[in-house]
Amino acid sequence: MTTTIVHLLRHGEVHNPGGVLYGRLPGFDLSARGKEQALTIAEYLARHDIGHVVASPLERAQQTAEPIAASHRLDVVSDGRLIEADNVFEGLRVGVGDGVLRHPRYWPKLRNPLLPSWGEPYLDIAHRMLGAVHRARQVAEGHEAVCVSHQLPVWTLRRFLDGRRLWHDPRRRQCSLASLTSVVFDDEQVVEIVYSEPAGATDPVVAGA
């Protein structure tokens, strides 16, 4: 039996002075704090047996992955399956009192929170993330891999692996900035999921997701 660990790492804090939901938009880089968080995670994982580093193609994920890969003399591999979830409110402020949600023309987009109707279906997110994780497991077999992704995809996959319903309250996500959700495999079987916050805890609805 071969044990492999795949660490799902949420990227660090993003510079987002406008407070928009930036989703898959280009040009949103790590803030100064986010860069510090990336270095903290790299130091935390320095003594781990990391054999593969893969990241969402978005800038913030790539920037979070780079110091980890450098410390293990690896290249960062991109995998589009780790990308942020698609969302129709991308580029807009989505606060209830000060954003698009106060305008009736957007309310039809909220008709089905179980799917959800405003973006990529939760089940689609879970399936693509699972594919990326298994690919990382195969490449790093017998060692450890790091997959840098985003809050909603990481949390959706965790709920899927735990056998829980995928729709949820975003305020209750356990996925802080620069947190690790570590999936332990024996061969192809998930045997344990361990959550840790080496860079500290953050509010799950904080801007910078």
Segment 142-184, tens digit of pLDDT: 999 999 999 999 999 999 999 999 999 998 999 999 999 999 9
**Domain of 67: which CATH number?**
3.40.50.1240
Looking at the domain assignment, is residue 201 inside a domain? no
Q: Is residue 207 part of a domain?
A: no
Instruction: Specify if 75 maps to a domain.
Output: yes
Tell me the pLDDT band of 204, cut-offs 50, 70 and 90: confident
pTM, two decimals, is 0.93
* Residue 204 counted as domain residue: no
Amino acid identity of residue 192, one-letter, is E
Q: Which residue has the higher pLDDT, 108 or 138?
A: 138
Query: How many domains would you assign to the chain?
Result: 1
Query: To 10 degrees, the CA torsion angle through 40, 14, 126, 56?
Result: -80
Strand 180-186 to 189-196 pairing: antiparallel
Tokens of 161: 């692996």
Domain assignment present for residue 203? The answer is no
pLDDT at position 11 is: 98
Which domain, by its residues, includes 161?
Answer: 3-196
pLDDT digits (tens, 9 = 90+) for 44-91: 999 999 999 999 999 999 999 999 999 999 999 999 999 999 998 888
Handedness of CA 85, 91, 93, 99 (dihedral sign): negative
Does any domain span residue 208?
no
3-class secondary structure for the chain? CCEEEEEEEECCCECCCCCCCCCCCCCCCECHHHHHHHHHHHHHCCCCCEEEEEECCCHHHHHHHHHHHHHCCCCEEECHHHCCCCECCCCCCCCCCCCHHHCHHHHHHHCCCCCCCCECCHHHHHHHHHHHHHHHHHHCCCCEEEEEECHHHHHHHHHHHCCCCCCCCHHHCCCCCCCEEEEEEECCEEEEEEEECCCCCCCCCCCCC
In a domain, 94, yes or no: yes
Asked if the structure places residue 202 within a domain, the reply is: no
pLDDT tens for residues 184-202? 999 999 999 999 999 999 9
Burial of 38 (0-12, 13-18, 19+ CB in 10 A): buried
